Structure 1
Amino acid sequence: MTRDTTLESAIDQVNAVVEARLRAPHVRAFFHEPTFTATYVVSDDATGKAAIIDSVWDFHQPSGRTSFEAADEIVAYVQEQELSVDWILETHAHADHLSAAPYLQEKLGGKLAIGREIVTVQGVFGKIFNEGTEFARDGSQFDRLLEDGDVLMVGDIPLTVLHVPGHTPADMAYIVGDAAFVGDTMFMPDYGSARADFPGGDARLLYRSVRRLMRLPDKTRVFLCHDYKAPNREEFVWETTMLAERTANVHLHEGVTEDAFVEMRTQRDATLEMPKLILPSIQVNMRGGHLPPPEQDGISYLKVPVNAL
Structure 2
Amino acid sequence: MNRGEGPPTPRYDGEGGTSRLTLAAVRLTPIRKKIPMSTQAPPLTAQAGKISGSYLTTQDGTQIYFKDWGPKDGKPIVFSHGWPLTADAWEDQMLFLSNHGYRTIAHDRRGHGRSSQPWDGHNMDTYADDLAQLTAALDLKKAVHVGHSTGGGEVTRYIGRYGTSRVAKAVLIGAVPPIMLKTGWHPNGLPLETFDGIRAGVLGDRSAFFKELSVAFYGFNRPGAKVSEGLRESFWMQGMMGGLKAEYDCVKAFSETDFRADLARFDVPTLLMHGDDDQIVPFEGAAKITATLVKGAKLKAYPGFGHGMCSVNKGVINSDLLAFIQE
Normalized against structure 1, the TM-score is what? 0.29
Higher Cα Rg: structure 1 or 2?
A: 2
Normalized against structure 2, the TM-score is what? 0.27
Higher helix share: 2
